[in-house]
Amino acid sequence: MAFEFRLDISRCIGCRACEVACVTANDLPPTGSRNWVKFLEEKDINGDAVVRGNTTFVPSMCHHCEDAPCVQACPTGASYTADDGRVLVDEDLCIGCGLCVPACPYESRYVSPETNKLQKCNMCEGRVQNGQAPACMEVCPAGARSFYEVVEIDGEERVISVGDVHAIDEGHEAIHLVSDEVNPLPQLRFSGRPEDLALLKEQRPPQGGGSQASMLWRNGAGKAIGGLGVASAVFMGGMVGVHVLRDRKEKVALAAAAEQMELDKATRAEASKEDGEVNA
């Protein structure tokens, strides 16, 4: 079943307990959190911070969009939308091409330098299926994160919740972070004081576009070249395949060179040994 979640930016105190919880729960490197907290401050027309201007912390993560551009940009089908509304990644299908990264309007994805696989929030799918709330939601000391989902565990429906996703503080408003140009139907709602939300919309608006390659794939190239969507798929698959094949060839060549160096070293050592025995 679908889930709901909300982040209140005016409640966030910037402690980053959510980031630590994400790293711990998902066994990630210290800097590999799948969610983050930004500090925003009011700026003047020159881009300088306004003295005593408005400031706010902004927690964020994957918005799990219903019309996710990252899913459309993925050439292998590794990024997909699950039946429960989560936007997930199948690591077995991920080739680390990174085309989905610039396609995300909320900068919520990255390719791990350790695994060369895409990393993003999965809303702690495994924890929820075991009756636990998402780690980041559970640890927030300020009540800035709320979550609700009904799941079936051992044949029974269970409610997994943190806070109240519908209870907005007095004087606060709730929004989806979208614009006239970019609206991928995000499930995440932000709430907070109107002035804090205005700062969020001004400094962290959803980003449209992406790399030329991801845009070509997302648009199927049909709009640009007369509906040749299949041709665009072949082109994209071939382009990605060329890069992967080139990398593999380079790795094979390096391995072969290293093996030859070791063989030459052993041959020289054996020849030196034989020369020593003859001289003796």
Confidence of residue 217 (pLDDT cuts 50, 70, 90): very low
Mean pLDDT of all residues in 211-239: 43
Which of 111, 83, 85 shows the shortest CA–CA distance to 97? Answer: 111
Which of 111, 112, 139, 108 shows the shortest CA–CA distance to 122? Answer: 108
Q: What is the CATH number of domain 3-210?
A: 3.30.70.20
- This model's pTM is above 0.85: no
* Least confident piece of the model among 119-128, 141-150, 211-220, 260-269: 211-220
Q: What's the pLDDT tens digit per position in 165-185?
A: 999 999 999 999 999 999 999
β-strands 145-153, 118-119 pairing? unpaired
Higher pLDDT, 79 or 239: 79
Inform me whether the pLDDT recorded for 239 exceeds 60: no
H or E segment to which residue 149 belongs: strand 145-153
Say how many Å lie between the first and final Cα of the chain, rounded.
83
Domain boundaries, the chain: 3-210, 225-279
> Which range scores top for mean pLDDT: 5-19, 225-239, 241-255?
5-19
